[in-house]
Amino acid sequence: MSLRLSTVILPVRRWHEGGRDQWLRAEQLGFHTAYTYDHLSWRTFRDGPWFGAVPTLTAAATATERLRLGTLVTSPNFRHPVTLAKDLMSLDDISGGRITLGIGAGGNGFDATALGQEPWSPRERADRFAEFVPLLDQLLTEGSVSHEGTFYSAEEARNIPGCVQRPRLPFAVAANGPRGMRLAARHGQAWVTTGDPKLFEEGTPEQSREALRGQLERLGAAFGEIGRDLEPVEKILLTGFTPEANTVLQSLDAFVDFAGRHRDLGFTEVVIHAPIPDSEFAADEAVFEKIATEALAQLDS
């Protein structure tokens, strides 16, 4: 099974002070997709520079030609389906059909309270996600949409002429639980995971792979429930959150071993973070570029 290699570029650099160069370099290195995080602020980066995902991807779309672009991931925490659909349709047009929407239920980070609301419970996040995704799907595939839901409404919302990609740009649904996996089965062209968060700090690589194997089996069951074939759906692993997080980018050999083991589980795309000095994503830039240019050839040999 062939494997795709992609990267995440966190939006922490001013566009004219290294930001633009990162996206150009990602294209030059041959990555399949360059994603960015869609947050208002995030973890240890909260008190430093952090730019918006949609403007950043718009700029990246005009600076690159072949590289796919996307979010990992957008959530309902501060988004509404009607306005998000308009932004996505526009992004897909500007990029010439190179946008993938990574989408998840969100969490209790800074985004959850930035608009002045109380953090939603896990149940409410799941309920909102279950309404958000189908409505967004409808908005991106129909010219005019009216909908009155529990959390989200639309009144003759128009998205004309629609996406360049038909019937709409692809959704990569981040999901570990049964409700999210059912959403992935009904609306996803890809599925995203970071692994089992319970194993990140104290688990072993073997335990992590076993947990991922279980996730893939449950995903297959969700697809089977609606008679949909899981095989052609992309299975994306966002690295940096498994027990091997600190070793994956230490050397080409370490990455090839990691990627090969996860390819054998059934993953079709592995995503690595572009290095950020003095952060949890610090890594040797030369090793990162060596992985980008040589890893897939080693895996295929």
Query: How does DSSP assign 118-144, residue by residue?
Result: PPPPHHHHHHHHHHHHHHHHHHHHSSE
Residue 301 pLDDT class (50, 70, 90 cuts): confident
pLDDT, tens only, 18-39:
999 999 999 999 999 999 999 9
**Structural tokens at position 143:** 């010219």
- The backbone region for 251, taken as left when phi is positive above 0, alpha when psi lies in -120 to 50, beta otherwise, is beta
Residue 246 pLDDT class (50, 70, 90 cuts): confident
Tell me what the mean pLDDT of segment 189-218 comes to. Answer: 97
With a CB cutoff of 8 Å and minimum separation 6, the contacts of 129 are: 75, 76, 104, 105, 106, 179, 180, 183
Residue 47 pLDDT class (50, 70, 90 cuts): very high
Q: Does residue 2 register a pLDDT over 90?
A: no
Tell me what the mean pLDDT of segment 191-207 comes to. Answer: 96
pLDDT for position 259 = 98
pLDDT for position 111 = 92
Tell me what the mean pLDDT of segment 119-147 comes to. Answer: 97
Scanning the structure block, which residue is given the tokens 């069951």?
221
Q: Name the residue among 278, 272, 263, 277 with its Cα closest to residue 291.
A: 272
Tell me what the mean pLDDT of segment 234-260 comes to. Answer: 96
Tell me what the mean pLDDT of segment 28-53 comes to. Answer: 97
Q: In this structure, how many other beta carbons lie within 10 angstroms of the beta carbon of residue 42?
A: 16
pLDDT, tens only, 145-161:
999 999 999 999 999 99
State how far the Cα of 208 lies from the Cα of 202, in Å rounded to an integer.
10
Tell me what the mean pLDDT of segment 185-209 comes to. Answer: 97
Q: Beta strand pairing status for 144-148 and 153-158?
A: antiparallel
Scanning the structure block, which residue is given the tokens 């194997």?
213
Q: Does residue 1 register a pLDDT over 70?
A: no
pLDDT for position 164 = 98
pLDDT for position 20 = 98
Mean pLDDT of the chain: 97
pLDDT for position 49 = 97
Q: Does residue 95 register a pLDDT over 70?
A: yes
Q: pTM for this structure? A: 0.97
Q: Does residue 228 register a pLDDT over 70?
A: yes
Tell me what the mean pLDDT of segment 99-128 comes to. Answer: 95
Q: Measured between alpha carbons, how far is residue 14 from residues 9, 184, 238, 270 in Å?
A: 12, 34, 24, 27
pLDDT, tens only, 99-113:
999 999 999 889 999
What angle, 0 to 180 degrees and rounded to 10, lies between the N-to-C axes of helices 81-95 and 53-63? Answer: 10
Whether 178 and 223 have beta carbons less than 8 Å apart is answered as no
Q: Name the percent of the chain lying above pLDDT 90.
A: 97
